[in-house]
Each structure stands twice: as C-alpha cells, then as structure tokens.
Structure 1
Amino acid sequence: MNAYLTLTKYKGSQKKSDLLKQIDNPDGKSAFFEQAILDFGNYWGTKNVSWYKQRYAAYEGHIKSSSDTNTSFFLKSSFPLIIGQGNPSILETHLTLHPIYGIPYLPGSLIKGVTAHYCHQVLGKEDSKFKQGEEYALVLFGSQEQAGAIHYHDALPTPKSIKNCLSLDVITPHHQSYNQGLNQAPRDDDSPVPVPFLTVKADFRVILSCEDLAYAEWLNIAQKIVSHAVTEMGIGGKTNAGYGKMEV
C-alpha cells in the first residue's frame, strides 16, 4: 500500500479509494485516515516487503560509492513528528511522503535546515564563526554563492519501524471565523472545529557525506550538530508543542 498515492491520488493504490468524497464530506476525514493507517499497517506487516529492504540497503550503498567519505547514524522518534502539514492538500492537512516508496521520510533539506538554524541560533552565541555566512557555517551549509562541504541526504525509515509509524492526531481551532478573517471577534462560546491529521513515529537512518577528504573531520562535527539540533529543538512542525523530538 502506497500511502502517498492513497492520500493524494483518487483510486491511487486502492481500488475502492474514497479520497474524492472527502472534499464534500470533511466530517469523514477521521474515518478515512483510520482506514489508511490500517491498510498501511497491514501491508507493511503481512506482505512481502523485501523490495524495500533491498532499496534501503542500496540507497546507502550508492551514497558510499559516490562520495569520498560518509557517516550514518540513527534517529528515533521520542514523540510523533509532523512534516509538510502546510503543503497543499485536498484533505486540508498534508504529510510528507516518499512519492515512489509511499512512506514517511525526512528530506535532506529539512535536516540541513533545522541543523543550520540550531547552528546559527545556539552555537553562534558561543562562537560567531557558526553564524550564518561565517567561516564554519559556510563549510557546513554553504551559501547562495558557494556550496557547502557536507551533503545532507534524505533519511529513510528503517524497515522494522515502518509498520506502525503512522498515527492519527487532532487539532481543535476554537475561532475559525476569526482566523479566516471574517471580521468576527473571537469569543469564549465559539465552537471548536476538530481537524484530524497524520503524524509519524519511526526510526530514521541519517546519512551525511562529503566529496573532499580534506573536510572529512567536519562529518563528525556535522553529525554532532544534527544530533543536538533534533534532540533539543525537534524537527518538523509544532515543535513548540513537543512534536518532532528525537533520540539518537
């Protein structure tokens, strides 16, 4: 079961997909999500998914063969994370899913972004060379004028953690009319509007690489910064509410 197709394409990977109905019946989104989670778990728990194990191993092998040096480590979700919720979707809330494999993953740009933010906001206070555009930051992340020495690759979930990685959550905005700019002041008697959405909890293998052995020592530095960034600040959306916290 390809979750990407199920959540974005009518009859994408399910012959009886009712994705189109959710446009006219938003109250049925919770049931739709619950069925998608069930189908996803059944596929990854009972079907032969050896193809993904092969692709998972081949992905790391390709990176190792195409770079001078690299390092890999694992991040484990200690609390559900939300990725890509603000992207356009007919279901109102979205989730970043691999368009080919149909599974949640951490885009390399996301890993690089949260690491660069942590580097600038936290490490930059201790040493200005870590601030955006300065010496250390240029090596780690580059700039619009020059490429960085470190490559941050997409982090795929481990085969063992995929089966139960999706779960259903809900947010309940209380002042929908006010938030939509309808000139109605927020009041205590406004009715909450439950909005269901999907979250992810899995183990991810992060791979960093560089093409110049002269910067090999920076791989270990980058790994430590990534680890601190996602454990202290979290990754994805709603981190201020506790979502996206990871363990190394």
Structure 2
Amino acid sequence: MQFLTGLPIIPGSALKGLARAYGLLSIAAQLEPKLPLEELDKLDEALGKGEFRRITNAALLPLAQHFQRAFGSQDAGGICIFYDSVVMELPSGSLFEADVMTPHFSDYYSEKTPYPSDDQSPIPVTFLTVA
C-alpha cells in the first residue's frame, strides 16, 4: 500500500525480480547444450560476476553482457532503475467505489451483550475501496 493514499502498489524491487527472472530464463533457453532449471542459480551467479564462458553462442554474448550491466550483482548495482507501479485511472470511470460491510452482532462484538442473538439489527457500514 502506498503510505499517503492507501492505494495498492507493486514495489519496484518486485518488478526488477520479474524482469531479471525473465531475462535469465531467456538466456538459459538459448544455451546449447540446454541448461537444466536446477542450474539457473549458477548461471545467474556467473552472469553477475561477468563470467561468460558458458555462453558459446556469439549471438548470445551481447545479451548476457546487457543482462549483467542492467541488473548488476551482489557487489555492484545495475544501471536499470525500477520504480513502484501505481494504479492508473480506469477508462470506464472512477478509480474508487463504495463498498458495504454489515456486521450483524455489533452489541456482542462491542461487548454490550454476553452472546450474539437474533434480536440485534445489522448496521451497514459504508467505506471506500479501489474499483
């Protein structure tokens, strides 16, 4: 949640992780011989260190180098910046809408009565939600 508005966000770190995983899988899919999925961590570590000896395909070498520059390693940050994603205005109307919650035993939950009973009237509570 965004701390000022309460709107949902996707953190930039999550978007970076998604892009990094996609890039790593794209490189691994083009390697010959095929790399087992269990070996992805080793490939990721090697690319982060700038070790490209597994890349025997000359066409893949620039892609691997771009990956290393973009995402960096544990020792050095990458050159790409990923910002948090935010909710955009919906094309069909408002970003917000009203929602209703109807607690049925408000006296019981506020400890005015020792047990819930059917003689208590529900009291609708309206609140704002993201559409």
TM-score (norm 2): 0.43
Radius of gyration: which is bigger?
2
More helix by share: 1
User: Which structure has more RCO (C-alpha within 8 Å, separation ≥ 6)?
Assistant: 1
